Amino acid sequence: MFSRPVGYKRDTLDRDLTFRRPSCDCLACYDSGVVTNGDGLVNGLLPDYDRNRDGRPLAGQDLPLICHCPAAYRPSGHGFRGADGPVPQRLTAELSPEQVAQIHSRRLLSWQETERLMRDARMARAAGDPDAMPWFIAEVRHAVARQMARHGPILAELDPSPGAASQDPRRLQPQGGVLASTLASADPGQPGPFSRLPQPHGAAQMTPEPALPAAA
């Protein structure tokens, strides 16, 4: 028998209304020891980092950038950095400590704004507005709806399921409810989650990079 831990349950109100950023000391590397670039902030310092010659993003294209925070050092950290710099050398690269600090600071501000927007939306929902949501979640919702509206009929025609029911092209199409209303209200003119978003908003730096075009 094992003892049951105490203090692990969150208060209902706190669980429903509170949104918190990732719990880590360094937002440049998220305590991994390697600077991350999922939001494209590194490209503000190195425009061609992890990009092909034609400019398309490709994660892992270039050498990993070793952070300067304690998580990068050995033996207490991940062992990416020694007293003389990143190890193994020639297989890694690095930004300056000031550049890493700049990335951390910008992400911290971005996450703080995201926390505020998420909290406000959850409080609005709790107050009776079922449609309240941050602008960045609304954009993802519109983008998904546009994709489903565009490809739904094609998927229905390609349905490989056996049986007579699979021959009905209406089988995979939404018939009503929330999904149908979402598709009907989607505005193709609105920007999607992969658009370049305004920097003052918190989640703008948290959106994915543009999707790669399909191979010819």
pTM: 0.61
For residue 100, which of 59, 41, 51 has the smallest C-alpha distance?
A: 41
* Contact status, residue 103 vs residue 35, Cβ threshold 8 Å: yes
Rounded to an integer, what distance in angstroms lies between the CA atom of residue 183 and that of residue 203? Answer: 24
What is the rounded average pLDDT for all residues in the chain? 74
Q: Where are the alpha helices (DSSP H) in the chain?
A: 12-17, 97-126, 135-157, 177-185
Q: How confident is the model at residue 110 (pLDDT cuts 50, 70, 90)?
A: very high
Q: How confident is the model at residue 158 (pLDDT cuts 50, 70, 90)?
A: low
pLDDT in the model for residue 75:
72
Cβ neighbour number for residue 172 with a 10 Å cutoff: 16
Query: Which is higher by pLDDT, 216 or 117?
Result: 117
For residue range 12-32, list pLDDT tens digits in order: 666 667 788 889 999 999 999
* Contact status, residue 109 vs residue 79, Cβ threshold 8 Å: no
**SS3 of residue 58 by DSSP:** coil
Burial of 110 (0-12, 13-18, 19+ CB in 10 A): buried
Rounded to an integer, what distance in angstroms lies between the CA atom of residue 204 and that of residue 210? Answer: 13
